[in-house]
Structure formats: structure tokens, C-alpha cells
Amino acid sequence: MKTIAFTILSILFSMTLHSQKPEDTEDWSRRPEIVTPGHNNAPPSDAIVLLGGNETLSNWQHQDGSAINWEINDGVLTVKAGTGDIRTKSGFADVQLHIEWQSPAVIRGEGQGRGNSGVFLMDKYEVQILDSYENETYYNGQAGSIYKQYIPLVNAGLKPGEWQTYDIVFTAPRFGEDKTLVSPAYMTVFHNGILIQNHVELMGPTIYIGSPEYEYHEKRLPIRLQDHGDAVSYRNIWLREL
């Protein structure tokens, strides 16, 4: 009896499958917007350019709102030690972020004291910037780490003085009306074109000591670049809001 029942079900399933038409599974609900890819290292047509081309410092300020004191030369922005972090004047949430950075060509220090900076999504969630070329440190603090949370899958760092790229896909955390966490932040990172963080679930904002945990914050917050005392340089920063 079981064999007969199975045969009948198989026949009915086959009849249902073959009664469908190809167009039954075609989706015409949303026509994708046309975006022109960038050429020769240019951003795509729908990008917000934060640094590069004709855009220099108008998008940036220090955390107290003052004009930035970092050095700018030919579109290259370099940390001026002791002047403090800078951040965008606008806030963002879910983004695709492209950023190019360069650690100093002249090697000074070791471990965390060598070419150290960082890019913070929403002013809180850090992807570490560090000269990690033949430079040992704790692995969740080397270049490409989600600082103090996730070790990069590989070390894709280039030699000091060479330009490097991060391409980051960031999903912001969501909070409910009662300000409790509904869903955490996620991050995917490519370092010099190599996948080093694969849609990792962040445990909370970046902190130096202790275990991270989420606290309610605004839906849109700035991108921040860190002054850690080293002359790290930046260029060609753009993002796409997702």
C-alpha cells in the first residue's frame, strides 16, 4: 500500500510540475536601477564621494565639530598625530564602503604601535587599520580584524608605503521601539580584493577592555577615522547607501 501511495504522489507531483509554465516563476516586481561602474579607480555613479576627485574636506570634521587639522595634499589625507579622530558630517546606516589607506613607508615601532588607525562604521564598529606586514600582534587586532572581535580569515597586508583597499559591506543593528536590540550588526570585508570577514555577526560596538554589548543608538551615525598617533594616509573614500 505504501508503494502504491508513493507512486500516486509522485505522479501527481509530476503532473503539477509539468502543468506550470516558465513565466509562472518570472519576477517583474522591481526593475533594478541602472548604476554605471567606475573606471580607472573611479567610484560608481550612485556613490557618495567622501574623499577624492574634487571632494576634499567638506564632508569631515573633528568630533567636537571643528575643522579638521589633518594634512591634505593632492587628495591624500594623512593623520596629524594628536589632533584627534575625524568623522563625516552626515550619518549613515547600511552601506557599501570603499576606502584606500597607506601605512608609513618608514617603519617605526612594532605590534599595535606600527601604522595604527581604524575605520569605524556608525562611529562605533571598527575595522582595524595596521601595518601587518611581517608584524606580529594579537590576531583580533591586526589589519582587517573587527577589532577585538573577529580575526581576519587571512593576512592580505601589503608592504609599508603601498596603498591598500578595504571594501566593506555593513548592515546596521536594528532596535525596537522599546530600544532593545532586534537584530545585530553584520560586516563583510575585502582587503585588497580578498575576502577576510564573511558576513560576521558583531557582538556589539568596539571596546578596548571587556566584552562588547549593544546599547541603543541612533539609526544613522557618522563614519569615523582614527588618530592613533601614526601618520596613516587615506584617499579615494566613497560609499553607497544600501
- CATH code, domain carrying 109: 2.60.120.560
What does the pLDDT look like over 19-57, one tens digit per residue? 889 999 999 999 999 999 999 889 999 999 999 977 779
pLDDT of residue 110: 94
Phi, psi (deg, nearest 5) at residue 99: -145, 135
Q: Is residue 19 part of a domain?
A: no
pLDDT of residue 54: 75
pLDDT of residue 233: 98
Does the pTM exceed 0.85? yes
What does the pLDDT look like over 199-241, one tens digit per residue? 999 999 999 999 999 999 999 999 999 999 999 999 999 999 9
Q: Is residue 193 part of a domain?
A: yes
Q: Is residue 14 part of a domain?
A: no
Q: Which domain holds residue 193?
A: 30-241
What does the pLDDT look like over 224-233, one tens digit per residue? 999 999 999 9
Q: What would the grid cell of residue 82 be?
A: 594628536
Collapsing DSSP to helix, strand or coil, 155 comes out as: coil
Q: Is residue 4 part of a domain?
A: no
Do residues 171 and 186 touch, judged by C-beta distance below 8 A? yes
Do residues 121 and 184 touch, judged by C-beta distance below 8 A? no
Q: Is residue 13 part of a domain?
A: no
Instruction: HSE, CB side, 13 Å, CA atoms: give it for residue 61.
Output: 9
Can you say whether the dihedral through the CA atoms of 20, 23, 28, 34 is positive or negative?
positive
Q: Is residue 91 part of a domain?
A: yes
Find residue 77's DSSP bridge partners: 72, 234
Q: Based on the structure, what is the number of domains in the chain? A: 1
Q: Is residue 168 part of a domain?
A: yes
pLDDT > 80? residue 14:
no
What does the pLDDT look like over 62-91, one tens digit per residue? 999 999 999 999 999 999 999 999 999 999
